Chains A and B, each alone.
Chain A
Amino acid sequence: MNTSENNDENTPRGPIRIDDPRLTALALGELQDEALLAEVESHPDLKREFDRIRTTAKSLTDAFAEEAREPMAQTAKVTEPASAPARKSAERKVIRFPFLRPSVYVPLTSIAAVMILVFGIRFYEKPTPTPPQPLDAPEVVLPAPGSAAAAHPSTTATTTSGNVATPTAQSGVQTVASTTSVASQHLPQIKEGTKEIRSKPSARAVAKAGRGDEVYILSPFMVSAETPEGYASGDTLAETRMQTELKDGGSATNGASRKARRDRYADCVNYTLASPCATSPEETVHHEEEVTALNAVRPLAPFDREGYDAITENSFTSPLAEPLSTFSVDVDTASYANVRRMLQDEELPPAGAVRIEELLNYFSYDYAPPADQSTPFAAHIEATTAPWAPKHELVRVALKGYEVPWTERPVSNLVFLVDVSGSMDSSAKLPLVKEGLKMLVSQLDARDRVAIVTYAGYESLALPSTTANNTETIMHAIDQLGAGGSTNGAGGIRMAYEQAQSHFVKDGINRVILCSDGDFNVGMTSRSDLVDLITEKAKSGVFLSVFGFGRGNLQDSTMEQLADKGNGNYNYVDSLKEARRLFVRSASGNFLTIAKDVKIQVEFNPAYVQAYRLIGYENRKLEAQDFNDDKKDAGEIGAGHAVTALYEVIPVGVKWENPASVDKLKYQTMPTPEKTTRPSTDELLTVKVRYKAPDGDKSKKLEFPLAASAIVPWEKASTDTRFASAVALFGMELRGSEYSGTGNLRMALDLASQALGSHPDDERVEFLDLCRRAKELNQAQENEKGTQQNPKREEER
């Protein structure tokens, strides 16, 4: 282990060069060769590289040192030194370490006890000491034996004894201190059926446990209460723990085969946290602490816990069959932020996460707002050729709402509804929520009111409605929010709306701002129930803004539906930058509604349009008759918001096979363009918009026709249209759409870079980067599929 061992036969010899690994070895102090060092010193470029390596090494060392201070993975420090009466935790029956003599047991178990204590302390949930009941039936800590949760080793142990200091009380706030969050990771082996960490578990108890009793305590150095050979048994610690776990957790798993156990362990490994106990409310109440601990433990849930609905793309339809295309507007932007987050994490998003309308609406366009506020929006329609199918046309329909500077907003009454369940405990969630809300609060003043309702296992009013000039009070309340517990969303929603309604301001902004990762797992958990609840609440005139946070657990579809039915918008916050964009820059748009239930209906003229296809808005589609039905809920538009929709149109004269075939009608003649079109119309289409005032009930209608001659060639189309088309193509490609014609991600990138406009903002530039990433990831995926037959191990580069 001395440096001379470095000189392998394969070490390069001769003069050192920049790409020589010896340079790094020198810089890292591994190689102590005076001659080489002198050589490096004498060449300026080598010296520069040498210094750079040193700097990088320093940064790395610092980074690891910082990581060492991170709470997430930190081992509990030995702060409580062993006052533990060290005892025989090992008895001959249990541990077969034949060479451990009795005189060794004492120090050995003292260390064991130290470790137990140190780790066990971290695992504290209940402060109340319970009298030692050695062989009680264990608390059923796991909801369903055989479920992944039951098998998870670290779901053990929540109750610990009172004879050791209790760092975290099971307070109402359910704060999981960072120290406790660590514990269960290395304490899976302590089964707390006895409700007490007994520093001296009697050998008998342990031995008894070994015989299949339900209660036992394992020290880290006990491998299995059953396997007599102890460590040599070939079982891993986990597996043996599994065995005893299962014996404990439920009779159903008694006698589970080894293979089943292993499989369950394999499941556990992929298991993540968010709703371990999503079985029934009663059960979850018991398991709150476990869930807290569990929730706290898992730093990241794996990707597959996120929830996305599948989307069926709109297909080409003939106006002879369906002349009216109707949809509700949508100003959500969550899908773009979410997709961006995934691409930045080097993963391709699932098709269900890509909602093209949200990609389009994320960007700001140069549409002119209406001349005055009597009409809430102006419409801008443009038609050009489709870049991915040159014979097709693209029609861009845009609505732009009137702007209201934030300073000119009316009185507002806001309720922050914050999910503080355990799953929000990661750094990308609750801390970001707090920052975002604080940013918003700093924009408010005396005319606004803020209340904070939190929900975890139960809801609580963290701050009653307070005028926003009490900034400190509000900021303090926000700071105090801590995560832990399960997620009883329905209770929170009810309380939030109650607060909002009790301080309702007429002609003002009344809004519930929900910040969550969307994972409701207690109380009303079924999405339809929650949606019904929110639909009912929406009638109260209080609007809703939903902000999604976090990764790995994002229930995207739930949140979108809530926003949809709750008269609101849904945005995803993945970074401080995005928080600033949403809570500060677009505050007017997100919180000030200028029109409610906005629906768009487009009628296509069959004389010019052979087929049309709405790109995106799949889950916003409405029936034709819903357009005039004021009872049908639709989207809301905020101040300054713009809504963009793209139709791909196949003009008459272009060859198109209608894939949907319908039998010839028996009692009517099939409509043809000549017979059905009204004469003297040289319009391509007409866009109709219906909207209600924010507090109104009757809708008003606006109409905007587009002349057939208004089609411009692609190069002449505005930058906004061209950029929007690039974004749409990007979305279609990510979804694997069959309609992208000759388009691909490379084309999307090219189109977008040519359509940046004279003042490209950050968002557009960022989009280019996303295109690039998506392209590379796609490529990588293709390559992987190709080379799966010959996995080449590249050990050295």
Chain B
Amino acid sequence: MRKPSGERQFRRVSNMKRMTPQPVSDYPDWTAELARLHDMPLRRYAYSLCRDWDLAGDAVQNTWLRFFKAQRPDVEPKIPAWLFLVCRRQVVDFLRRKGRMKTENLDDGIVGGDVAPSYSAEMSDSSRALFAEMEKLPSAQREVLRLKFQGDLSYAEIAQVTDRSVNAVGVLLHAAMASLRRNVRLNTDLTA
């Protein structure tokens, strides 16, 4: 169940009084814990979508903002997928507003894919090789991989976040893993 996209509308104070308000902001400890867990993954995820740290930062900030406004019982069962979903929407919004996307499709808006992240020397060769191979995948597959293995979302959650059917997610993941395995085997001497 997704939040309606009209969630930007404010509820008036009078409305608020009618419901039993349990805004997320009432729970600082819980919030801080979630922030600790998910802020960085969200940033990485947002960056992987738009290749721009500032935009990613903004998107994640906006995500937290919305999170704060939300009602705990509504969002709690959906964390972390909800966070990723909102974050993704933010990125899409940003990119669309900048006029970089003609359609809803995030793939159009993503900057080239030719700006690959660089990793420090501490990262192991195998991981680095994996990331390098991941860069070569289509952006849809990349995104699904990241959501699955970094965000640890289920297929259904990924389907929600990326606005696809669960079946499509399954096919994407399957194809992504197959390509990755094949390419890593071919291009490095890692066995995967």
Instruction: For residue A246, give the distance in angstroms from its CB to the closest CB of chain B.
Output: 16
For A4, the closest partner residue in chain B by CB is B156
**A237 near B117 (CB under 8 angstroms)?**
no
Asked if A74 CB lies within 8 Å of chain B CBs, one says yes
**A232 near B9 (CB under 8 angstroms)?**
yes
A238-B55, A269-B54 known; A428-B154 Cβ under 8 A: no
Instruction: For residue B134, give the distance in angstroms from its CB to the closest CB of chain A.
Output: 8
Q: For residue B93, which residues in chain A have a CB less than 8 angstroms away from its CB? A: 236
**A66 near B124 (CB under 8 angstroms)?**
yes
Instruction: For residue A558, give the distance in angstroms from its CB to the closest CB of chain B.
Output: 22
**A300 near B117 (CB under 8 angstroms)?**
yes
Q: For residue B68, which residues in chain A have a CB less than 8 angstroms away from its CB? A: 108, 111, 221
For B102, the closest partner residue in chain A by CB is A791
Instruction: For residue A647, give the distance in angstroms from its CB to the closest CB of chain B.
Output: 36
In A360-390, which residues have CB < 8 Å from any B CB? none
For A434, the closest partner residue in chain B by CB is B121
Asked if A715 CB lies within 8 Å of chain B CBs, one says no
For A98, the closest partner residue in chain B by CB is B13
**B115 near A302 (CB under 8 angstroms)?**
yes
For B157, the closest partner residue in chain A by CB is A1
**B23 near A73 (CB under 8 angstroms)?**
no
In B12-70, which residues have CB < 8 Å from any A CB? 12-13, 15-16, 21, 23, 25-26, 28, 31-32, 35-36, 39-41, 43-44, 47, 52-58, 60-62, 64-66, 68-69
Residue from the list B43, B57, B116, B131 in contact with A345, Cβ < 8 A: B116
For A62, the closest partner residue in chain B by CB is B127
For A271, the closest partner residue in chain B by CB is B54
Q: Place the interface of chain A in its size category.
A: 35 or more
Asked if A189 CB lies within 8 Å of chain B CBs, one says yes
* Complex Cα spacing A75 to B64, Å: 14
A236-B58, A302-B115 known; A115-B53 Cβ under 8 A: no
* Complex Cα spacing A56 to B178, Å: 9
In B74-108, which residues have CB < 8 Å from any A CB? 77-78, 81, 93-94, 97-99, 105, 107-108
**B16 near A98 (CB under 8 angstroms)?**
yes
**B53 near A796 (CB under 8 angstroms)?**
no
**A21 near B170 (CB under 8 angstroms)?**
yes
**B119 near A110 (CB under 8 angstroms)?**
no
* Complex Cα spacing A190 to B126, Å: 38
Asked if A479 CB lies within 8 Å of chain B CBs, one says no
A1-B154, A67-B44, A188-B58 known; A59-B130 Cβ under 8 A: yes
Q: For residue B177, which residues in chain A have a CB less than 8 angstroms away from its CB? A: 24, 53, 56-57
In A58-116, which residues have CB < 8 Å from any B CB? 59-64, 66-75, 77-78, 96-100, 104, 107-108, 110-111, 114-115
Asked if A25 CB lies within 8 Å of chain B CBs, one says yes
- Chain B proximity mask over A174-194: 1 for CB below 8 Å, otherwise 0: 000010000001101100000
Q: For residue B54, which residues in chain A have a CB less than 8 angstroms away from its CB? A: 152-154, 185, 188, 238, 268-269
**A796 near B119 (CB under 8 angstroms)?**
no
A1-B81, A66-B124, A427-B121 known; A220-B64 Cβ under 8 A: yes
* Complex Cα spacing A72 to B184, Å: 24
* Complex Cα spacing A347 to B115, Å: 10
Asked if B145 CB lies within 8 Å of chain A CBs, one says yes
A6-B155, A67-B131 known; A111-B32 Cβ under 8 A: yes
In A1-38, which residues have CB < 8 Å from any B CB? 1-3, 5-6, 8, 10-11, 19-25, 28, 30
* Complex Cα spacing A313 to B47, Å: 41
**B98 near A262 (CB under 8 angstroms)?**
yes
Asked if A303 CB lies within 8 Å of chain B CBs, one says yes
* Complex Cα spacing A265 to B99, Å: 12
**B127 near A67 (CB under 8 angstroms)?**
yes
Instruction: For residue B100, give the distance in angstroms from its CB to the closest CB of chain A.
Output: 8
A75-B40, A188-B54, A231-B65 known; A427-B130 Cβ under 8 A: no
Residue from the list B16, B52, B64, B99 in contact with A99, Cβ < 8 A: B16
Asked if A299 CB lies within 8 Å of chain B CBs, one says yes
In B114-162, which residues have CB < 8 Å from any A CB? 114-124, 126-127, 130-131, 135-136, 138, 140-141, 145-146, 148-150, 154-157
For A428, the closest partner residue in chain B by CB is B118
Q: For residue B81, which residues in chain A have a CB less than 8 angstroms away from its CB? A: 1
In A220-252, which residues have CB < 8 Å from any B CB? 220-221, 223, 229, 231-232, 234, 236-238
In A633-668, which residues have CB < 8 Å from any B CB? none
Instruction: For residue B162, give the distance in angstroms from its CB to the closest CB of chain A.
Output: 10
**A55 near B57 (CB under 8 angstroms)?**
no
What are 8 contact pairs spanning A and B, CB under 8 A? Answer: A56-B181, A57-B177, A63-B127, A98-B16, A232-B9, A237-B58, A237-B62, A552-B115
Shortest Cβ-Cβ A-B pairs, 9 listed: A63-B127, A21-B174, A99-B16, A75-B40, A24-B174, A21-B170, A64-B150, A60-B149, A98-B13
Chain A residues within 8 Å of B, Cβ to Cβ: 1-3, 5-6, 8, 10-11, 19-25, 28, 30, 52-53, 55-57, 59-64, 66-75, 77-78, 96-100, 104, 107-108, 110-111, 114-115, 152-154, 178, 185-186, 188-189, 220-221, 223, 229, 231-232, 234, 236-238, 262, 265-266, 268-269, 297-300, 302-303, 345-347, 426-428, 431, 552, 791, 793-797
